[in-house]
Every structure is written in C-alpha cells, then in structure tokens.
Structure 1
Amino acid sequence: MKTPKFWQQRTLWSYLFLPLALLYRGIASLDRSIKLKKMQTLPRPVIVVGNINLGGTGKTPVTITLVNRFKARGFNVGVLSRGYGRKTDALLIADTHHSASDLGDEPYLIYQKTGVPLAVHRNRYEAGVALLKQHPEIDLFICDDGLQHHILHRDLEIGVVGKQGFGNELGFPAGPLREPISRLNKVNFIINNSGNLDLKKYDFIPPQFTLQSVLNEAINLKTGKAKPLSHWQNQGVSAIAGIAYPEHFFAMLRDHNIDVMGYGFPDHHHFTKKDLATLDTPLFMTEKDAVKCQDLALDLDNAWKVPLETTLPEALIDAILKTLNLDVKPNSKTHV
C-alpha cells in the first residue's frame, strides 16, 4: 500500500478517521491480551526487530546488519519472518531454489545478504521450531518485524524509528501508528534510522542508537558489473521504488548529484514487464525491488540496483549480548 499523505500531518481526513482509529486500538489491545495468554517460547534467545509504524522504517536493513554483526562475533543466527506478500502461506525454510515470490521480498533479501538459516511462516514460533530442527547449531533467533507478534516470547525487543518519524502521531487509519508512541518505552533499545531525526522531545527511556546508511556502487542487473554513483553525476536517470516511502531512495540518489525522475510504487509491489517497459534508462532501483525485477530486467542492459550499506555501533551489539547474558565467542571479530 502507498502511505496516505495525511499520515504525515494532521488534516481534516485525519480527524474523520479518529473513530476508526479508536476502534482499531481497541481490537489490537484485545488481540494482544489473547495472544499473550497463548505465548510460546523457543529454546534459544529471541531478538525481535520491529516498529510501531505501518510502512517502512528500516527494519530489514537493521535485521541484516544485526545478523552480520552477530556472525562476526561468532554466533550462529537464525532469522524468522512472516514473509509478507509471498505466493503461499506454507512454512518454508529458505534454500537457493527459492525466489522472492516464495519467501517474500524482504526475507529473500535477508537470505541473499546474510546466508543464514531463515524460515517464513505466519506463526514465527512454528517457524523457529522447524528451523531449529534443521539447524540445531543456531545460538539465537532474530525475528524481523515481530513487535506485534505477541504469541512469540521474546527475550529482547528493538524498536526502529524511520526517517519519517511518527508522522501525525495518530493511530491507524487516522495516522501511521500501529501502537502508541509510548510503546517504545517498553522495548530494550531504540534505533534511529536517521541522523537528522531528533527524538529528544519524546523522552524515551531505552538507550538509543543511530543506524548509518549510505548507497554503495550500482550493480548492473544483467552483467553484475559495478559502477560508482559518481559515474552518473549531473546526468538524468529513472528510478523506481516499491517501498513505503519511495522518496527516501530518490533523495539519497539526488544527494549524489544525480538528476532523478522517480516513480513510486506501493510497498512490496510485484513488478511486471509493463511497469518497466516505458521507463527511460539508465534505470535505478532498490535491492528490495531488484529481487523481483531481476528476470524482468534481463533484456535491459542499463538497469541497476543500488545496495544500501548500513552500520550500527559496536556498543549496541555489546549491550545486546550483555542483556541476553551471552558469552562472546572465541572466534569473534568486533570489526569487519
């Protein structure tokens, strides 16, 4: 879905939807109470990465970064995800034969960029049991987008705040929030996905860390050849983004002095050849979109994915390990 513009500021539409927002909050509260009574616990520590917003805040880049940091510390990590937007509801354990339509675009991207055991299913507890049966060496689980998945016990929660902040600060559908802002005071750590977003006014209790993000070299979808973004400096390009806030991607390209004609699509959009047929080249896209466009773009010599490189402070990894009482592995690397 595309996020409505009125989610970013309070307008007449916001107030018209307030009664439904109150109803939504009541239903969500009831659902949470029911799920908490049925909570199930996996035999390994579970880290949940989530948010209180509908729409993207950067959970998947955070998950990828955390997985790779724990791998560098010597831990065997398993990833659990719902697999939103995939073509089946079946429990799947990722392997090299699966595609983005099998796993969902975000889990597929996580699997591509980390290579760790990953399972997708609506019930993340069942996914964890199945994954652990196949990979008993797993030391800990990271659950991508699981803050509201109350049926799964979690040992640690990480709340991610996106570049858009909390918009108009109203609950869905009057605003972008799945839960009140105060919910973030119950997580263990908060990750700010923007160095320009000031969260001081909220007086959050949990420690806060900033996710640093930069665009890497563009990679050609057909040849795999990489080129620095400076190659297109002061040139015109087309760019597509099927993410919650496409303008964030376009703005990052423009920061490299590239003249971008951006085409936004709904989050998790399933691209077709028709979507790409009339667009001028060179054509840029996010990694998340590239996993769905790879085959569609094989006849385009000038289609490029632009990887996002993200980093988190080592202090956060240290704090997580301390909270979970996990010992540092002897073959760990604190920097890679």
Structure 2
Amino acid sequence: MREALQRAWLRRGPLALLLLPFSLLLLPLVRLRRRLYRTGVLASQKATVPVVVIGNVVAGGAGKTPVVMAVAERLGRSGLKVAVVSRGHGREGAECLEVTPHSDPARSGDEPLLIASRCRVPVFVARRRAEAVKAALRAHPDTDVVLSDDGLQHYAMARDIEVCVFDDRGLGNGWLLPAGPLREPWPRPVDIVLRTPGAQDLPGFLVRRRLATYAWRADGERVELSSFTGQECDALAGIARPQAFFDMLKAAGIRLRRTWALDDHHDFGSDGPWLHGDAPLLCTEKDAVKLWRKHPPAWAVPLELEIEDGFWSQLESLLRPKLSSPHGPQTA
C-alpha cells in the first residue's frame, strides 16, 4: 500500500482522484491550525537562542537529516556551539532524553543517534520539540543555535529560520495528503528552499547527493568503496526511498546480488535473511546504527552532500543578526 501511494502521489491518476475528497476536507483544518498559531490563539514557545528548522512539506522523507548534519558541521567549524532537536520518529517511549553515540536506538530513534554519532553535538529528542529545545539549553547553556531535524509543521516550537528541503519528486502531484504527498499547501512562506536537481520546477539552492568514496563498519575499519567492485554484494536500506540507495551503489560500479528494501526506520529487532549471506552487506549509515548491534560486519556507506554556495551565504546573513540580538526568556 505504501508503494502504491508513493506512485499515486507523483501524478493525478485514478487512486489520487479517489482520495481527493479527503484532501479537500483536510485543507481547511491545516489552514486553521496555522492561523491559530500565527495569531497567538495557540501559543508557540520561543527559545533564548535562534532556532533553525530544517524540514519539508512532502511526506515520505526528502533528505532532511543529511542537511541537518551538514549545517551542524558547518556552523561548528565557524565556532558556533550547536544543539539538535528531533522527535525521534519510530522510537519507543515519549520521554525527553539526550542522545549520545552509545544510546539505544529503540529509545532515541535512528536519525538522532546518527546525528549524535557523526556530528558529536548535543542531541535531544522529545515528542514535543519545544520540550527538547528547553532540555538542550538547560543541559548546555553555552549553546548558540538549535537545529530542528524536521518540525516545519510543529508550530508549538517557535522558529527564527525555516529551511524547506525537496528531493527529485518536487511537489509530486501538488495535492494534500492523502491524495498527494503534501503535508500543507505549497507555496508557503519559508526563508530558504533547498532542492535536488530533479525538482526543476521549484526555485531554491541546489543540493547534490552522492555516496562517499569509502565504507566503514562497527569496528572502525574503513575501506575504499571501489574495493567492492570486483565482487557481488548484498545491500539493504530502511529509508524512505531504498531504491535510490541501490541505484547509487550500482552507479558506483557495484554488482548487487540481493537487495532488501525495508520500511523507513526499520528496527532490525528480529532476524532477517541479510544476516546469513556470504557476500559483503552494504547499508546506509542510518541503518547501520541499529544493524551493527546484530551484525557488526555490515558496511555502512555514508551519504555526502554538495550544497550550493549561495545557501551558506543566505543562511549566514539570516542567522548573524539573530545571534547578536537577545531573544528574551522562554515562555511556559
């Protein structure tokens, strides 16, 4: 059903048309909710430091987390102290907690754990992101800026800058859920748009994604990705669009014997056929933080981003004045 919906969302075909009445019912509710927050009828909690939301309006993942990591690393190199907040999609429990590289992914969520492991910045998860922001600032009062992984529609958390990310699907068929992929109508005001080259009908700065030239495993061993080209390999991906990962591996010259396209945020809690193969097993880093607990020999292939220079210039110009002006106390 998930795959059928993903296909239906790309065009205005029979299934999308069948679901369109439900989207038309949703539209006034989405607009009303946004208006209630904008007019102050519903309260947004404002932080004492700038909050940058990196999210999307398209369901099914658009590559937000790699952008969050790229921004966290770039701001860190510039001397700013960064914290990241997330809901921790798919995790067990609802408590607010700090995520470390040693956290249990079942409690932290896979993407927050990946960010904590890769970026080495404070990461907090909570069902309500505003609570995660408060907890991060209490635990790390020297924080200069908070990045929110997703949360564009989480209006209870006030934000200073919004970055909207699109992948090659663009707006799909342009309709709201469930007839289309949109969580809210587009266009809507955002500060910066990032898009992959395939989303040609949208304005914004380009982001290109490619696999790193290396792979690494749980014991820290690192090898060139090209070392796998002379043999058959297996691959799995528990991400929004697994085929995109497989296609990038093939484009790198790797022959894939078997592939497993798993649900996004697959927990690897049970046994699977990928644990018993005799070929090298390649996976995404997002999968590796969970898979390595059962199968340490798996090879994680990182994703690298190349983001247009104009994005960084605009982000800096938006962020600089907010860093130099006090935000005042948080609201309750």
TM-score over 0.5 (shorter chain): yes
**Could you tell which deviates more after superposition, 56-65 or 97-106?**
97-106
Q: TM-score scaled by structure 1? A: 0.88
Partner Cα distance (1:90, 1:295) in 2: 23
CA displacement, residues 223-256 of structure 1 (integer Å, 9 cap, x when unaligned): 4322222222264221111111111101111111
Partner Cα distance (2:216, 2:115) in 1: 20
Cross-structure match for 1:242 = 238
Q: Which of the numbers 314, 317, 332 marks the counterpart of 1:319?
A: 314
Alignment of 1:51-70 (within 5 A): 51-70=56-75
Change over 3 Å in CA distance of 1:325–1:223 after alignment to 2? closer
Q: Is 2:260 the counterpart of 1:263?
A: yes
Structure 2 counterpart SS, 1:171: coil
Cross-structure match for 1:163 = 168
Q: Is 2:192 the counterpart of 1:189?
A: yes
Deviation at 1:296, TM superposition (A): 1.1
Structure 2 counterpart SS, 1:17: helix
Partner Cα distance (2:181, 2:232) in 1: 33
Partner Cα distance (2:77, 2:2) in 1: 36
Deviation at 1:86, TM superposition (A): 0.8
RMSD over aligned Cα, in angstroms?
2.2
Structure 1 counterpart SS, 2:300: strand
Change over 3 Å in CA distance of 1:217–1:173 after alignment to 2? same
Change over 3 Å in CA distance of 1:222–1:325 after alignment to 2? closer
Partner Cα distance (1:253, 1:218) in 2: 12
Structure 1 counterpart SS, 2:260: strand
CA displacement, residues 72-122 of structure 1 (integer Å, 9 cap, x when unaligned): 111111111111111110001223441222211111111111111111112
Alignment of 1:1-336 (within 5 A): 2-3=2-3, 4=5, 5-36=7-38, 37-183=42-188, 186-192=189-195, 194-199=196-201, 202=202, 204=203, 208-233=204-229, 235-260=231-256, 261-271=258-268, 272-277=270-275, 279=277, 281-298=279-296, 301=297, 303-326=298-321
Deviation at 1:315, TM superposition (A): 3.4
Change over 3 Å in CA distance of 1:312–1:160 after alignment to 2? same
Gap runs ≥5 in structure 2 = 325-332
Give the total of aligned pairs. 317
Structure 2 counterpart SS, 1:322: helix
Partner Cα distance (1:275, 1:30) in 2: 47
Change over 3 Å in CA distance of 1:2–1:224 after alignment to 2? farther
Partner Cα distance (1:91, 1:27) in 2: 28
Change over 3 Å in CA distance of 1:66–1:245 after alignment to 2? same
Cross-structure match for 1:332 = none
Structure 2 counterpart SS, 1:122: coil
Deviation at 1:25, TM superposition (A): 2.4
Structure 1 counterpart SS, 2:187: helix
**Could you tell which deviates more after superposition, 304-313 or 214-223?**
214-223
Deviation at 1:222, TM superposition (A): 4.6
CA displacement, residues 180-224 of structure 1 (integer Å, 9 cap, x when unaligned): 2212xx1111111x234313xx5x4xxx21223221244343543
Amino acid of the residue matched to residue 325 of structure 1? R
Q: TM-score scaled by structure 2? A: 0.89
Structure 2 counterpart SS, 1:273: coil
Contact 2:101-2:116 within 8 A present in 1 as well: no
Contact 2:205-2:311 within 8 A present in 1 as well: yes
Amino acid of the residue matched to residue 294 of structure 1? W
Structure 2 counterpart SS, 1:181: coil
Amino acid of the residue matched to residue 318 of structure 2? T
Partner Cα distance (1:220, 1:273) in 2: 22
Partner Cα distance (2:24, 2:278) in 1: 45
Change over 3 Å in CA distance of 1:310–1:123 after alignment to 2? same
